[in-house]
Amino acid sequence: ILDNNQDNKDILDNKNILDNQDNKDILDNKDNNKNILDNNKDISDNKNHTTNNNNNNNVTVSLIYDGSHNSCRVEEYIINGINKEVLVYRKGVSYGLEVGNKKLCEEYKNIGQPIMVGGSMGTYSYIVCIGNKGVFNSCCHGSGRLLSRKEGLKRYEGEGVVKEMERKNIVLRCSSVKGVGEEADGCYKDVVGVVEYSDRMGLTRRLCRLKPLIVIKGIVSNKDELV
């Protein structure tokens, strides 16, 4: 892609992207960057979230993993034999470090940085790491939607989705039964196929498969409609 597509090469070679004063001001603005980091830290530090189950007993859920859906980072890569600093924008794509990367902690140096690849509410999810053909240290973020949220609500009735979750012995907590339809399993691609294909292409390497036990959709409070 980089060798054959002149447009892509021009973009990567265009120093104006990084030299542009507006972009430089954004990257160099320590106050703005500090505010962003502080806000993210506040969110990350709030690791315990409490909700209520049907018996009105408090249930504490601890955050053990968090990943950005959209991000933009300044990173260094060797492109056409030249070490370059580029802005990498990831939309619905996860960032991870490959096996042996010097930035990894000792625990992950031999397996790579663990990355979550989510399925739908009622299907498997995976923990993977970057494969041997990692593209800008990136991999799939999830299985990906087949239907828009609007189409999902038209096609899947909330109560039916709730019953299907019960049949699979998956506990569901949500703020709206009607809104559950937009997250029905049929709204998403087959995560097993997505991850297997990604593995075959060398983009990821599977570490383990996860089965859902509890699903929380939306912000659940005492006033919300609990399933």
Q: CA–CA separation, 18 vs 15, rounded Å?
A: 6
Contact call for residues 78 and 136 (beta carbons, < 8 A): no
* Residues 6 or more apart in contact with residue 21 via CB below 8 angstroms: none
Looking at the annotation, which residues are catalytic? 141
pLDDT in tens, 169-215: 999 888 888 889 999 999 999 999 999 999 999 999 999 999 999 99
Burial 2-34 (b: 16+ CB within 10 A, else e): eeeeeeeeeebeeeeeeeeeeeeeeeeeeeeee
* Placement of tokens 């009105």 in the chain: 56
CATH topology of domain 17-39+64-225: tRNA-splicing ligase RtcB (3.90.1860)
Residue 227 has pLDDT above 60, yes or no: no
- Reading the block at residue 107, the tokens are 């625990």
**DSSP letters along 122-153, please?**
TS-EEEEEE-TT-BTTEEE-BS-BSS-HHHHH
Alpha helices in 6-116 (DSSP H): 6-13, 16-19, 21-28, 30-45
Q: Indicate the annotated binding residues for GMP.
A: 69-70, 118-121, 125, 141-144, 217
Distance of CA 217 to the CA centre of its chain: 16
pLDDT in tens, 117-175: 999 999 999 999 988 766 899 999 999 999 999 999 999 999 999 999 999 999 988 88
Q: Indicate the annotated binding residues.
A: 69-70, 118-121, 125, 141-144, 217
